[in-house]
Structures are given as structure tokens and as C-alpha cells.
Structure 1
Amino acid sequence: MKKIKKFLLTIAMTMALGTSAFAASGFEFLFQLAGGLGVVIPTKEAKDLKYNGGVSADADISAQIGYMISVKDGFGISVLGELGYSWDMYSYSIGVVGDGSGSSGGLDVQLKESSLLLYFHSFKLGLLPKFNIGFGGRHGLAIGIGGGVKIPIAGELMSSSGGNAITVSTPLKRQDITDFFSPSVIGYMKVTFDYYLFFTDNIGMNFGLYLGGDFGLKQKETKIGGDAFDIGLQLGFRFGPKA
């Protein structure tokens, strides 16, 4: 009988400790705006054809939905799915590919002053685990490491020649993107740093910084294209337990 009582007491204490440890666990939802600037890193094939990487830019509206597990008081781990809309821009300048002599001289001069811009409107889907650190009271910090894909649903290709003041704009539909590029999706990775200011135990604002990398689209035959590295700011609304 004493052994049974001891066993039941042990179970009760374990459950009580477990309930205390995971009291802050729960559903988590974030609605967020983000945007930043960076640089394009052209592929080797693009460099061989005198393409130089220019400025990249991105902006998105996203929702992060998941669950935060409290590991101990002041520390929790969130597993969040990310989905939303993303706008991305990649720019290139095109240098001289010859010495300007012969039958190709006119083309060489035009290429010297040319630029190329690619814009995409994409559906964004990813996974973003976060490590949450509570500072007590209304303050907290979260560090996220994740990634996913951006699926371009429309876009635009703009080429211009400064010497002749010619700009050509070509709209791109999803089918055009699939036919012209391989892969036809943009992979991304990012690291986020967010400061949380809570108004209640479950509602707060986040102010953050992110470092992101895009694995950009490449033209199927020539492999012309590039990746991008961006730095940006993010601002959002958070619903969920504090760490």
C-alpha cells in the first residue's frame, strides 16, 4: 500500500512539474511586413558573358503560424510555418563582350551600356523555427533560422540600353516562367532577429531584422541568372504565449 501511495505521489508530482514547465506553451500566430535591399551574385555562366550583379530588393507580407513549446521559464522553441506574398527584384548590368571592332562593334557598344531587371510576384511557403528568450515582464527576443520556396506567379523582364535610350518590357506569366527558367521557383533561406514588446500575456508587436539569401532563377539553356543576399527590416503583430 505504501509503495502504491509513493508511486501515485511520484506521478502527481511529475504531472505538476510538467504542467508548470509547459504552462506557457501554446498556439502562435504572427502577421508581418518586411522589406530590404541587397546584391545580386551572378552565375559563372552570366559572368562569362559579362553580366555584373546589381542591386536586389524584396518585400513581403506573410503570416507565420505554429506552436511554441516552453522548455523552461524564459526559454521556448517555436515551430512555425510561413506563407504569404513576396515581391522580388534582381538587376544586372552588361559589360563589353568584345573590342568594338568588326561587324559586332555596334552590338558591343550597345551591350556596354545595357541593364537587365527582373521582377517577380510570388507565393511564399516555408518553415521558420524560432528560439524565444523572455526577459521578464513585457520584453522578449526571438532568433529564427529557416527557409522555403517562392513560387513566381507573374513577373516582368526589362532590358534597357542607355546609349540608345531603348527600354523593352516583357510581362511574364507563370507559364512563361516555367518555360524559360529552370528551376522555376526561388529557394530562400533566412535568419531573423526579433524584439517583442507585449501588451498582454498573449498579444504583442515585433520589431526585427533579417538576413536572407535567394537561390534565383536561371535561364534554361544559358544558365544566365544569379542568387541574391539581402538585409532588411520587419514589423509585425504577434499572438501567442511569452517565453
Structure 2
Amino acid sequence: MPVSSRFSAKRIFWVIGLVVLAILVYQYSRTGSLFPKPQGQLVSQSLSEKASKAGYKIAYSSISNDTTGRGIIAEGKRSEELFPENFWWKVETNSTLNLTDFPTGFGVFKEWKQIDGSNDFYIILSNPISKSTEDKKLEARISTSTAKIGTYSATIKPTLLLVDNLDYGYKNKQVNPSSQFNPLVSIDKKTLDKIIKPGDIIQVFTIPLNEKDAKASKRLILTDENHTPYAFSIVVRRFGGLEELKKELK
């Protein structure tokens, strides 16, 4: 290759490198992250002030005119150290959400899906960074009764509904703010529809298998016959926590 051609090739690579670097610097200056973030709704000043008072910032909001925080995802600093709220949606290449390898995950509530021949149903959540309505979603099975599943040691119990009090800030430095609201089985569908609406940010906790069951099933999480994880609990969120939720049910 002629000397001039080699210099031209090097110059091109340098230009490309500088462009990529400029993009990353611009991204970081805007968001504080090198990764793209989902484009959500504008966060109200009231919610921003409440979050700031608790010691964190709001990274994403899925609901316009949200006054209670039901549709927000906090920045990672508020999260439990091992389970940051935004770990799964920051990188767009993580297109397929899968709870079978994670003890917990977050999503935007889409709908309930009844299971044929059962009183149980699925909760369907979406990834807020997704550009598709079909290929990026998270599902978990909501249990409505106590049962044994196959040869597993674990006993399935009714899924719990918990509320996370957003007035708590850095979870790693304080007691877990999630307060038990009620077993889901004792809440009728009408009440459930009052509590959880499309657009709400929902956290799901799955049921980890013990070492023996995990080795036998080659899975880390308890799943049903469709390989959908059972939910130990689903967690809604509100500033004011349980007291705010009680107001909504009056």
C-alpha cells in the first residue's frame, strides 16, 4: 500500500474515533451516563422536589401528570446495591427481558392475562426503552392459592402486593421501605384495577430455587409449565407509601 494511502486510512480511523468520542461525551454531559436512556414523560416539579428531599433523582417517568410517583424509576443510587432499578433498561441491546435468571426486575405495567383452567394469571410488563410493543416484555405468574409444584421443594403461596414508599432515599443506608399491603388473593379484581393501572412502574420479586432444585431443573428461579417465573411479590410505588394507597381506595 502506498504511504499516502496508509496515512489516509489512519486519518479516517482517527476521524471516526473522534466522532464516537464526541458522541459519548455529549451523551454523558446530557444524562450522566454513556448509555441511552428511554424517552419518558416530563417529570413534574413536585415529584422532582420530593425525590430530591429524599436524596435521589428521578431517571424516568412513564405517566404524564403523575402526582404520586406511581410511574417513576429512580436513579440507581436509590436502589438496593445488587438490584439497581435501571440496570436492565439502560442498554438497548438487552432487548429480551428474562426473569428466569434474576431475582427481581422492573417494568411498565401493560395488562393482566388470564391463564386457561386456572385462577392464576400473568402480569405483563414492558421495557420502557423498547421501540416495539411486542418483542420486549417481562412476564410473571401471579399465584392465587397455596400449592406444590411438581417435585420442587418450594411451596407456592399467594403472590403478595407490596408498596414501596418513595419517601425513602438511599436503600443501602436505610431499612427496606417496602411495606406489605395485602396478599393479592384477598383483593378482588375491581380493587386491583384501582391500585395498578397501565403505565405504572412495577417491581417483581421471583422465587429462587434451593441448590438441589436448581441443579435438577437447571434453573435458578421457580417457573411454571410455560417457563414463566412465579412472582413471590409485586411492588407498586408511591410517595407516602401505604398511606397514599389507602387514600386511593377510599
TM-score if structure 1 supplies the norm length?
0.25
Structure whose residues are more often helix by fraction: 2
Q: Which has the greater radius of gyration?
A: 1
Structure whose residues are more often strand by fraction: 1
TM-score if structure 2 supplies the norm length?
0.25
